[in-house]
């Protein structure tokens, strides 16, 4: 059987509604050919039973052969030219062989069942594809652009440029990642953030492509071109996942080749040996054809990919994108989950709570102004908090030069020719540390993250930044504990703050004050104990650890581009509870794959033995072979159902 893969293609967002667009039954050519073959078979059978002249039903049956067999036959011949033996071809050869010994009714039945199960498979694949692509049908194709003269015209979203001004009417989907420059409305961002409640948007707020405008009208200025938008990045990830194959599948395909060749050799033996022993050509050929059909590994080939693709689609619908079938397969073997703190367990939109000056020459406002100027280019969640606080106080930020980020430590830059740094107290010299020890300890005791502002390496102030836990963090940790055992917390932040937070969510294994390499070492240490690690992180400082872990999972909303690229899977809506759920779903997928392989092997074993040592009627062989193929195919598709996800969330199994 042809291995179902999701052909990489661009989404065509014909309609912008999240519910999945379903491929209709007869939209698939495979379905139409199978229907034609079935109809020809039935008419042929009627003619045969009614006693019509033999040539008439032979013609009908041969037409049935052509309708149902031309496509797999042609594909099989093409594969043969590339020196691979396609099982489909063997089926067609078997049917032709059956006709050759006068068993054309059996042969035509084989073609019909074969074409029908092929069509069902194609339909299943298309439906799986639909549900993956349903994720992408979010952004509209056109937008209303307002020209400098105030004229409105409709333009393709692909042609939008940064800086274009768009008008978003009530109930419309927003066409681009943009900033609101006029009007006000509430926007439903569930597709991107998972937040069920609409968010109020007024001038200065950010809006995202694919989110749904409420009752107001907005004027927005485009910030990102269509291909760079958040939904487009998600789409790119899905496309990437589409063209991949799981390890089990690659293994099966390798074995399949040898198996098929061996099968052809045995088929010849099954034909020749009885012939030499004096059997009739008729009987020997029939037995050989039956053998070829029942020994074909169609069900084995179908055992792996449909369940994995169904699981990828289901998880994708619920906000976790596995970037490949390999990842979906590996998630199930994870036995330890590691969480980063800031931006992962916490919301990553921290607030500046306090400013302590430690140098009388600097007022609170001056400290904040310098800190915000230096933080401005940084993508770190703490940086965003500092910049937001400065904006809220209407501080004018000076321009900076020579900005450098020190991942896991902080940032620095030149302001008016002097080096200003913002970062962790741990990066200070002993003398500097002494100056800030008081306020730092105070802030930490209250659960704040303390960040020191320095000028020319001397501390001038300490900022207390509070970060809120994600609402679902505790539930997610509990669910992870049920599925894989209790998780580990890795953070670059100080031990006191980390311990406090760990206690709140129920984590006991905390490793704090880690630089990016420290996180890598921590992951390696866990792996050295024999654990297979899934690491969940958001920042650039997590990227090396994500790459080191067996499965790296990035937070999609908060995550930096580098992190999204490094990760194997992305939590699109930043809902942490999807992490244990997708691990549970992957384990279930593995069980389904094993069940499928068992079903396939059992059917093949029984039918082959029956044919070799007894007399297996050809139609029964065909029915058993195709039946097991269909059972295996449908079994995999169960993972596409909503219930499969719910069960993974609820029971962790």
Query: DSSP secondary structure string, 328-386?
Result: HHHHTT--EEEEEIIIIIB-S--EEEEEEESSTTS-HHHHHHHHHHHHTT---HHHHHH
399 to each of 163, 389, 396, 417, 461, how far by Cα in Å? 22, 17, 10, 11, 20
| Number of C-beta neighbours around residue 186 at 10 A | 15
Of Mg ion, ligand ADP, none, which one does residue 107 interact with (CB within 5 to 8 Å by kind)?
A: none
**Is residue 538 part of the contact set for Mg ion (CB under 5 A)?**
yes
**Is residue 410 part of the contact set for ligand ADP (CB under 6 A)?**
yes
* String marking each residue 340-359 x if it binds Mg ion according to CB under 5 A: x-xx----------------
Which of residues 189, 213, 491, 586 is near ligand ADP by CB under 6 A? 491
Of ligand ADP, Mg ion, none, which one does residue 211 interact with (CB within 5 to 8 Å by kind)?
A: none
Sheet of 551-555, strands arranged across: 320-322, 569-571, 551-555, 533-537, 336-340, 488-490, 509-511
**37, two tokens:** 């073959």
Contact by Cβ (8 Å): 449, 382: yes
- Residues 383 and 374: their CA atoms lie apart, in Å, by 9
Binding residue count for Mg ion, defined by CB under 5 A? 5
Distance of CA 425 to the CA centre of its chain: 38
**Is residue 211 part of the contact set for ligand ADP (CB under 6 A)?**
no
Least distance CB 188 / ligand ADP (angstroms): 29
Binding residue count for ligand ADP, defined by CB under 6 A? 23
| Binding window for ligand ADP (CB under 6 A); candidates: 83-91, 253-261, 470-478, 488-496 | 488-496
Least distance CB 595 / ligand ADP (angstroms): 41
- Is the four-CA dihedral 377, 379, 385, 386 of positive or negative sign? negative
**Is residue 340 part of the contact set for ligand ADP (CB under 6 A)?**
yes
Of ligand ADP, Mg ion, none, which one does residue 424 interact with (CB within 5 to 8 Å by kind)?
A: ligand ADP
Of Mg ion, ligand ADP, none, which one does residue 229 interact with (CB within 5 to 8 Å by kind)?
A: none
Phi and psi, residue 312, nearest 5° = -60, -45
**Is residue 342 part of the contact set for ligand ADP (CB under 6 A)?**
yes
| Binding window for ligand ADP (CB under 6 A); candidates: 303-311, 360-368, 418-426, 567-575 | 418-426
Residue with tokens 């995202």: 208
**Is residue 375 part of the contact set for ligand ADP (CB under 6 A)?**
yes
Least distance CB 458 / ligand ADP (angstroms): 17
| Number of C-beta neighbours around residue 608 at 10 A | 19
471 to each of 128, 235, 347, 573, 652, how far by Cα in Å? 32, 27, 8, 13, 20
**Is residue 556 part of the contact set for Mg ion (CB under 5 A)?**
no
What sections of 407-542 are H helices per DSSP? Answer: 430-445, 473-484, 495-505, 516-528
- Residues 282 and 266: their CA atoms lie apart, in Å, by 18
**Is residue 380 part of the contact set for ligand ADP (CB under 6 A)?**
yes
Of Mg ion, ligand ADP, none, which one does residue 177 interact with (CB within 5 to 8 Å by kind)?
A: none
**Is residue 541 part of the contact set for ligand ADP (CB under 6 A)?**
yes
611 included as an active-site residue: no
The nearer residue to ligand ADP, 44 or 410, going by C-beta atoms, is 410
Pick the catalytic residue from 88, 340, 574, 575: 340
| Binding window for ligand ADP (CB under 6 A); candidates: 37-45, 215-223, 311-319, 378-386 | 378-386
| Binding window for Mg ion (CB under 5 A); candidates: 7-15, 335-343, 351-359, 502-510 | 335-343
Query: What are the residues binding ligand ADP (CB under 6 A)?
Result: 340-343, 375, 378, 380, 382-383, 408-411, 422-424, 449, 451, 491-493, 539, 541
Active site residues: 340
Query: What are the residues binding Mg ion (CB under 5 A)?
Result: 340, 342-343, 538-539
């Amino acid at each position: 059987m042809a291995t179902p893969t999701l052909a990489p293609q661009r989404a065509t967002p014909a309609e912008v509604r999240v519910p999945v667009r379903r491929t209709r039954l007869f939209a698939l050519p495979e379905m139409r050919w199978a229907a034609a073959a079935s109809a020809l078979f039935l008419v042929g059978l009627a003619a045969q039973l009614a006693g019509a002249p033999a040539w008439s039903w032979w013609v009908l049956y041969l037409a049935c052969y052509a309708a149902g067999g031309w496509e797999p036959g042609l594909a099989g011949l093409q594969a043969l030219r590339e020196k691979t033996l396609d099982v489909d071809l063997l089926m067609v050869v078997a049917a032709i062989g059956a006709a050759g010994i006068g068993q054309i009714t059996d042969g035509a039945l084989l073609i019909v069942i074969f074409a029908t199960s092929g069509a069902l498979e194609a339909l299943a694949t298309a439906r799986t594809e639909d549900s993956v692509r349903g994720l992408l049908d979010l952004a509209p194709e056109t937008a209303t652009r307002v020209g400098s003269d105030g004229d409105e015209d409709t333009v393709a979203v692909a042609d939008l440029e940064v800086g274009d001004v768009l008008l978003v009417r009530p109930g419309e989907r927003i066409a681009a990642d943009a900033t609101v420059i006029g009007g006000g409305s509430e926007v439903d961002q569930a597709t991107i953030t998972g937040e069920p409640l609409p968010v109020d948007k007024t001038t200065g707020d950010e809006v995202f492509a694919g989110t749904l405008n409420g009752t107001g009208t907005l004027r927005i200025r485009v910030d990102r071109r269509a291909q760079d938008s958040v939904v487009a990045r998600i789409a790119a990830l899905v496309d990437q996942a589409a063209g991949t194959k799981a390890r089990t599948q690659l293994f099966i395909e390798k074995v399949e080749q040898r198996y098929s060749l061996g099968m052809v050799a045995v088929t010849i033996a099954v034909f020749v040996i009885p012939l030499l022993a004096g059997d009739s050509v008729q009987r020997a050929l029939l037995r050989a054809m039956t053998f070829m059909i029942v020994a074909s590994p169609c069900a084995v080939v179908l055992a792996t990919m449909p369940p994995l693709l169904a699981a990828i689609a289901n998880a994708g619908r619920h906000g976790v994108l596995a970037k490949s079938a390999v990842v979906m397969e590996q998630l199930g073997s994870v036995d330890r989950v590691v969480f980063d703190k800031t931006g992962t367990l916490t919301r990553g939109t921290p607030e500046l709570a306090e400013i302590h000056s430690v140098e009388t020459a600097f007022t609170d406002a001056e400290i904040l102004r310098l800190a915000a100027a230096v933080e401005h280019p940084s993508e770190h969640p703490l940086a965003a908090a500092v910049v937001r606080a400065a904006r809220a106080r209407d501080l004018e930020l000076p321009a900076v030069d020579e900005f450098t980020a020190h991942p896991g430590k902080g940032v620095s830059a030149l302001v008016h020719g002097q080096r200003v740094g913002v970062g962790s107290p741990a990066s200070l010299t002993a003398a500097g540390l002494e100056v800030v020890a008081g306020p730092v300890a105070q802030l930490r005791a209250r659960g704040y993250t303390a960040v020191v502002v320095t000028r020319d390496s001397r501390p001038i102030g300490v900022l207390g930044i509070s970060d809120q836990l994600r609402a679902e963090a505790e539930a997610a940790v509990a669910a992870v504990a049920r599925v894989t055992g209790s998780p580990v917390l890795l953070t670059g932040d100080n031990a006191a703050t980390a311990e406090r937070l760990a206690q709140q969510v129920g984590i006991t294994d905390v490793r704090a004050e880690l630089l990016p390499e420290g996180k890598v070492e921590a992951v390696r240490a866990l792996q050295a104990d024999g654990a297979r690690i899934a690491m969940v992180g958001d920042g650039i400082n997590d990227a090396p650890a994500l790459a080191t872990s067996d499965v790296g999972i990035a937070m999609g909303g908060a995550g930096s581009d580098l992190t999204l690229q490094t990760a194997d899977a992305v939590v699109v809506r930043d809902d942490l509870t999807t992490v244990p759920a997708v691990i549970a779903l992957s384990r279930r997928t593995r069980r389904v794959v094993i069940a499928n392989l068992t079903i396939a092997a059992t059917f093949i074993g029984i039918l082959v033995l029956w044919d070799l040592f007894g007399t297996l009627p050809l139609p029964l062989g065909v029915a058993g072979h195709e039946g097991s193929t269909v059972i295996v195919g449908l079994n995999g598709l169960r993972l596409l159902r909503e219930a499969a996800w719910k069960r993974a969330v609820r029971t962790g199994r």
